[in-house]
Structure 1
Amino acid sequence: MAGYSRLMHTDEEPTHAKLAALLADAVNPAIAEHGGRIVKNTGDGFLAEFLSAVQAVRAAVQFQARIRELTIGDVDGRRIAFRVGVNIGDVIVEPHDIFGDGVNQAARLESIAEPGGICISASVYEHVRGKVDAEFVNMGEQSLKNIAHPVRAYAMVRDGINLGSQTGRRAPFSPPRLSIVVLPFADLSSDPEQAYFVDGITESLTTDLSQIEGAFVIGRHTAFTYKGKPVDLKQLGCELNVRYVLEGTVQRSGDRLRINVQLVDAGTGGHLWADRFDKPVGDLFDMQDEIVARLANTLNAKLIEAEARRAENTLHPDAMDLFFQGRHSFNKGVTSKSLTQARLF
């Protein structure tokens, strides 16, 4: 529970009663429903064990949503919220407790989550990706207290907001390489048939970009929360923890269709690449497939190029920095000069 000591100090009995009610009405039912058990109660929190990482995260998502419903009318300074950390690991089981490094990591992941948020380890993310009703953003490698090695963590995204902690002494998140969000393309016409076509381009492009090796693409459900809204791209990059934003417009005039698209550096707001597609209107599904394929292939090369340029300005490049520089040199064309230059990396 976030702010437990403060709330107990200022309003002890009502806080204790509210906490007990939330545990009974939201937390305990969700844990039981998903096959978990509460190992112990720590006063301001609890330790729970599940046989499945998917069930653990589903339970956490469920009770966090229920707690928000039950506390939505509470005064900000007195609203109770929980932080959740989820990890996978072998444990030592005793009658009333469990121990082990996996338990310690879960506790540390909880400490870097925002109130109302969930942080999970990379091993959990691999199990739950695409299997839970929640989106998670890569927080990068996190140095956790009393944990020998950095742990890659993922934070739940809710309503377009990254619920990983950005307070305290931790450094801001470093967006993963090749991380991108495809914003819903803007429809500049009033044709209902075209609206489906426009949304289809966004969804198909999100799917195709996720096939790029090493790419981290924000899911379409999160991206579509920004549909029709004015967006500060630099702020968006911070919220979703991505390096790149792809946005575009679709306009129909008579028997021709025009698509404008641009790739933006979310860190600076600067444009990295832009293009325009003008085509006669034909079968919309065939056009969608053709346009998405062309965009995905082009963006693959442009993202590699952008990462290579970042690597050129890195004082201590790692293996991936060198890989992107070599790949970019190779993409310039298969010539003896480009191959020689690529091998140098």
Structure 2
Amino acid sequence: MRQLAAIMFSDMVGYTALMQQNEQSAKEKRRRLKQVLETSVSGHNGKILQYYGDGALSIFNSAVDSVKCALLIQQTLRQEPKVDLRIGIHSGDISIEEETIYGDGVNLASRVESLAVPGSIFISEKVFDEIKNQETLSAREMGYFEFKNIIRPVRIFAIDNKGLVVPTRDVLRGKTKEPTNRLAVLPFVNLSADAENEYFSDGITEELLNALTKVNGLQVTSRTSAFAFKGKNTDIREIGIQLNVDKILEGSVRKAGNRVRITAQLINAADGYHIWSENYDRNLTDIFQVQDEISSIIANKLRENLTAKEHEETLVKVPTQNLEAYTLFLQGLHYHNKITPMDVKKAIACFEKAITLEPDYAQAYAMAAAGYTFLGATGQMQPKEAFALVHLYSDKALQLDNSLAMGYAAKGSAYLLYDWQWQQGYDALLKAIELNPATTGAHQMLSFYYMIIGQKQEAVTIMEKALQVDPLSLLVNKSLVDAYNHAGRTDEASKQVEWLLDLHPQLPVALELKGWCAGHKGDWQQAAEIFEEVHRLTKHPLKGLTSLGCAYGKLGETEKALACISKIERRQAEEPGVVLDADLAMIWWSLGEKDKAFYYLFLCVEKRMGPVAIIIEHPLFKVASDDPRYQLLKEQLNLVEYI
């Protein structure tokens, strides 16, 4: 018999040793444990399935009941005569045959219990989701852990009601895998007299981060998540939990004229202990040597299977001898990472100025290609013009340095979004991820590729991998939600959106995702209400209307949907460089006007707008495969072999 249950493992600590010291005392404590377990479990609608030595396995129909039961057990056993007990709870599918219990959920619950300490109750994230709104229960996050025979890291919480033990992460052991070296590079603080030099300290941080991604056996958190803590006084241990890392590199940069002082510290995330620190006072001309020195030291302190002899390698190449070009490059990075059309255009201008000063500046070519990819993909520039420049700049970047992940990522994006050369795009993106696993933009494009060719579970898997190295990234979370929805995993999509909204309650993109999740579940009224709020937050009468128009169409509110179309057409006329045909196709489709929808879909093909390939596979806009227009779209998109 299969069923969904909350599974509780409870284990008496030190029983074997106590038996050797005082057998009578050990037996009395075990009898007390059994009595408390039987009374508490039955009183919370649970069932003890089996005793094993000094522990027990119980199941409950309700996760809330299981935690309340565990709380009563621990509070009772913390009183004299005291019994040291560990409790772990997980919720999952189980099979029961002749009082024997099987299933992955049982295995995971056992692992959670093994991680706990005497007097504590540890729960998995699944259980936490069930109890987090209970006023009488409180929990504290312990972070992610990798358990033996469990594929993905598991997020663990400790119940922290009065009377319970809540340990620090560094004392936890359990049935975990050998620790993986995970590092986050926090933004180095700008200590220069001129606040405008912040671009320089941010750039140095990013350069160090990219260098460390080259170290085998070291997982480096992507820039987006690491920079989420910029300007915040967050405790190092909390950062370690949120980013799921065990080491953190932080520091400061002070630039004055042609001199620079860089201070760097490597910190153990579990307890805040400083493993290593150093100051560097150098001429600006030595900046790349300093970066390489810091990267090599960190690499040798964190490298797996560290030997007595340190590895000697160059992690930082000298990209240019022209400091003015390098300064422009760092300014370009500063603008590029703001992720707005206006700032990306400023970034491209900086990269192109750097190229003018240093014609062989490979990184500047790669980043300029990335900028034009953004403009072409978001309809902020005519695709033909944008992607011609993407190819031009990425080809030059890779000709100068074929180890640049960003060059391959930009090239792969152009193949997918404009050229529709699917295999070439796939190969380029895989190469980008191989060179730098923290290039999560390449993960997003690869997920896009999988959704287009119908391999929707693979789309989810690649974004779950991206989330491990960039857990706080808005774009990564958005792409994961999109992948979940495409794969029909709407509950997981909704859960991910709620987590995102906990971080950014009024973020329009996150709210819009929540609206789409409601639509996927068929609640278009709720979706419309959310999209109306999103439109209000854009503070522009002609923007943020596509999703709202779709919701109105699905609700049969034709006049409101047509009003959205009218405003989008007006914006198209006022901003001729912006391409909005895909938006119009989606709203017409929602209205049931398939002929008009196809008209705009074919316009997208004519203008080579990449999103058309995914719109026709979207669960809400899926074109019937026997419609001849679907076949024609597939032919023009070079996707016939994937039908």
**TM-score normalised by L of structure 1:** 0.49
Higher relative contact order (CA 8 A, sep 6+): 1
The structure with more strand, counted as a fraction of residues: 1
The structure with more helix, counted as a fraction of residues: 2
Which structure's CA Rg is the greater one?
2
